Amino acid sequence: MDYAIVTGATRGLGESVARLFIEKGIGVMNISRTDNSSLQKLAGENGVSYKFFPCDLSQSSHTEAVFREVGTKVFGSEAETIYVVQNAGVVTPIDPSGELDNGSLETSVHVNLLSPMIATNEMIKAAKGSDSKMIMVNISSGAGSRPVYGWSTYCATKAGINMLTETVSLELSNKHSRHQVIAFSPGVMDTDMQGEIRSSSKESFADVESFQRYKDEGMLRSTDTVAGALLNLLTESDIESGKLYHVNDLL
C-alpha cells in the first residue's frame, strides 16, 4: 500500500486531500492537533490504513519526534510511493510591522516554515536505504510571490516555502535521487482561514474588502476542487521537481 502523510488533515484543504487519497486506496497518516473521525470511518470503508499522529507543529521538538516516528514507519512499509503534503498553516498575525504580536509571529514562522523544514529533513533522512519513492508537496500561496499589506509574516514564510522547495529539489537532483519536491499554490478557497482574513480590520489588512467580495460573489473555490487538481497532478502526471504549481493552471 502506498501512503500519504498530510499535515493539518483535520479540516479544510488538508481534509479534502486526505479524503481523496483514501478514495484512491492510499493509506493516510494525519499529523494534526486533533483527529478527524470521518476520515477514519472512510478509511475503514475503503479498506485502507488511517493513522492519526497528534502534533503541535509550533513546537520544534514535537515536530521532529513525530516525523521521525512517521518516517520510520512509512519507509519500513515497502510502499512504492510515499506522498508528503505539508498543508498545515496559519495566516495570523495580520497587522503591519510595528504592531505585530511577537508571540504570534513566532508561532507563524514555526508552523508555516520551520516545521516543514524539520519534516523535510527528517523524511529525507528516513528515506536512506529505502526503495520507496517520496513525493513532497509544500502548500504555498500567491502571498509568497508578492507583498501584501498586513501580511509580512505570512508572505515571508510562504516565500521561504518556495525557496525551500527549490533548494531541496536542487540537492536531490545533485544526488541523483528519485525523490521529488514541489510547491503548490491553491488560490483562494472557502476555508476557516478565509473567515479569519475577512474578519480583519481595514487598518490591519488593506485588502480585506477584496477578500470579503470573493465570498459575497462566490469566487472562493471549494477545497474538494483544489484537492482534486492536486491529486490529479500527483497521481496522473509527470511532475517537475522544484516547480511551483498554480491551481489556476491545472483547472
The reply to whether omega before 186 is within 30° of 0 (cis) is no
Instruction: Give the separation between CA 207 and CA 154, rounded to whole angstroms.
Output: 14
Instruction: Give the separation between CA 149 and CA 206, rounded to whole angstroms.
Output: 6
Catalytic site includes residue 154:
yes
Residue 104 has phi, psi (to 5 degrees) of -65, -35
* Ranges assigned E (strand) in the chain: 3-7, 27-32, 50-54, 81-86, 133-139, 180-185, 244-246
Residue type, 190: D
From the candidates 3, 50, 83, 154, give the one annotated as an active-site residue.
Answer: 154
Is residue 113 helix, strand or coil? helix
Note whether 248 and 189 are within 8 A (CB): no
Query: What positions carry a catalytic annotation?
Result: 154
